[in-house]
Structure 1
Amino acid sequence: MAETNANSSSPSAYQVLLQLEQQFDHLLETIEAAVSLYEQQSPATWVFHQTTPSSDWLRKALFDMWHEKDQDGRETRNYIAVVAANDILLTAIDAVNHAKTNFSELLQHIKQAFPQTLSDAKSRLPQRHPHVDEVLRRNGLARLHLKQCWRQLPIAQAPVSRVRFAWYSSGRSIKRLSVQEAEHKLLHLDTDAPHIRIQLRKLAGIPSSEVLAQVQTQAPLMRANLFFTEPLDDGHTRRALNAAMPIFVPDNNQRLPHINLPALQPPTTRKRARRRDEKLEQDVFLPSLRVYRYR
């Protein structure tokens, strides 16, 4: 009897998986509602390097939630656009964001509590909607792309007068590593290879207390600066954000804000000067791990 009570108070992996499917269905329903509303209203829209956006561009953008064949799982496809949305459409887009958040939170719970069911969930979810299933069959696309499922749709907090887009191509993430952690990572590589042995010797020649930096160069991304017509409650007059997904701004008599036209491709060379106080050495210390020493 105690076992029954425990099971009733703590959901099983199967029950949580059913909850996830329900959350995914709800996400698809909110996207469909928002897209249908957009298509009915045909609000003023600017799409990156499209003179006349196709009628179904938003549908393609919001329902793009799966990996293409051989796609790097860390990569996501971008849909850079600005939509002048009325209050009804903004409410529908906000509902999509809430559904995305709920879906993401449940996925994180499953990952922690029932990690063995995550792969099962990813194989079952694409079958939950005819549109998704059709695209999977037609294009030979593979598994569901979770990052593209839950990424948020930017909504401007107030009317916007200008949007300034610019490529940001010098971003990087830096993770601090101890000498012991770096050694552990090297030992998991081919230690018979001469270049790995050289790096292990270099590592052995520095103090064990030294802190190292593992650097990951990030893919170029588009950034947007939104300039508000009036200061926000906190006094700010602009907001910067990543523009991977369409930006929805309150419509101003069904007009778009002024938008610049950025280059089609990100710059190939770094335009900004290196910071004088950059703390990492210029030359990589452990190439196989992208590990640098601090100056």
Structure 2
Amino acid sequence: MTTMAARPEYRLLAELEAAYDGLVDSTEGLVATWRASRGAAWAFPQGVVDADWLHAVLMDFWYQDGQDGRSTRSHVGLVAADAAVMEQAARVNAAKQAFAALLARIREQAPSLIPEIKAVLPFRHPGLHGHLSGSGLARLHLKQCWRALPLAPAPVARVRLAWYASGRSIKRLTVRDAEQRLLALDTEAPHVRIQLRKLAGLPADEPLAQVQPQAPLMRANLFFRDPLPDGHARRAMNVALPLFVPSEDGRLPDHNQPPPGPPERRTRARRRDERLEEAPLLPSLRIYRYRN
């Protein structure tokens, strides 16, 4: 007789628990290593910050009351990192990658475990979870666990931060792609059946577009002291978490103070939107036809 612990899905759960422990332990190690380095740190919009701030934002694995499950909280900042700190930050990203890979396997092989994962993992580290009970932060936000730390690949002369508000992303789909997405919904629902009939009337080779609204994000333009091996002297990175920049003297590169909020008008997506019909073909999936 197969015991519960021997069932494949519970072996996956045990592996994920170990991966979560590794993620927490490596993150604690990163904060401790940076604290000992006495490097500088700056956060937007607070200004100069310390290791307690870094610990709080790197361990922000939780939902807030009313938070959309598809969204994540941003913690924009810069952290001066010596070689030991950069090495430990790379270990954290490796732990995050391992956690994400196991989670993807579980979603594919045993998706019914996901609610249990969110309920069980927080209690593995009572010090992290204890102060959250009753505060609306006791549910684990899996994406906030595995999103990677941004790491500058070389010493940076200056950083320019700017809001990027594209408004929406547009993903090209085939008719078959759209059909598969519709079939994953409740096909007994009248509105889904109507959309399937609409789709059936299209040529199989007609391209479609799925539109996804995007929240504004902060982008960092890095200007390196010396060109990278590929010859580039600058690079742009999205920075939803603190950016670690190599710095042996513990000082931060020159950086700007971006505006407190994103621009009200979106800029680049408009031209792509104008190629789409005004009304969605499949409202349930935000899928549009291209204009003729």
User: Aligned letter for 1:251?
Assistant: S
* Residue of structure 1 equivalent to 2:21: 25
1:286 matched to which residue of 2?
281
Is 1:267 the counterpart of 2:263? The answer is: yes
How many Å apart are 1:245 and its aligned residue?
0.6
Q: Is the 8 A contact 2:165 2:267 kept in 1?
A: no
Counterpart AA for 1:281: L
Contact preservation (8 Å) 2:78, 2:242: yes
Identify the residue that residue 93 of structure 1 maps to in structure 2. 89
Partner of 1:139, secondary structure, is coil
Counterpart for residue 191 of structure 1? 190
Q: TM-score, normalised by structure 2?
A: 0.85
CA contact (8 A) 2:277 2:290 kept: no
Q: Given that residues 159 and 252 in structure 1 are in contact (C-alpha distance below 8 angstroms), is that contact kept between their aligned partners in structure 2?
A: no
Which structure 2 residues correspond to residues 215-234 of structure 1 after superposition, within 5 A? 215-234=211-230
Residue 105 (str. 1) matches residue 81 (str. 2): no
Q: Does 1:76 align with 2:72?
A: yes
Q: 2:147 aligned with 1:151, yes or no?
A: yes
2:68 alignment partner AA:
D
Which blocks of at least 5 consecutive residues in structure 1 are unaligned?
A: 5-9
- 1:174 correspondence with 2:171: yes
The answer (yes or no) to whether the contact 2:82–2:249 under 8 Å persists in 1 is no
Calculate the TM-score normalised by the size of structure 1: 0.84
| Shift in Å, 1:57 | 0.9
Q: What is the CA–CA distance in structure 1 between the aligned matches of 2:163 and 2:105, rounded to whole Å? A: 35
- What fraction of aligned residue pairs are identical, expressed as a percent? 43
Name which of 33, 36, 42 aligns with 1:40: 36
- Say if 2:41 and 2:77, in contact at 8 Å, map to a contact too: yes
2:35 and 2:110 map into 1 onto residues whose CA distance is 39
- Give CA deviations for 1:169-192 in whole Å, capped at 9, x if unaligned: 114142425287287689859637
**Aligned ranges for residues 118-133 of structure 1 at < 5 Å?**
118-133=114-129
Letter in 2 for 1:174: K
* Structure 2 residues not aligned, in runs of 5+: none
The answer for the alignment partner of 1:243 in structure 2 is 239
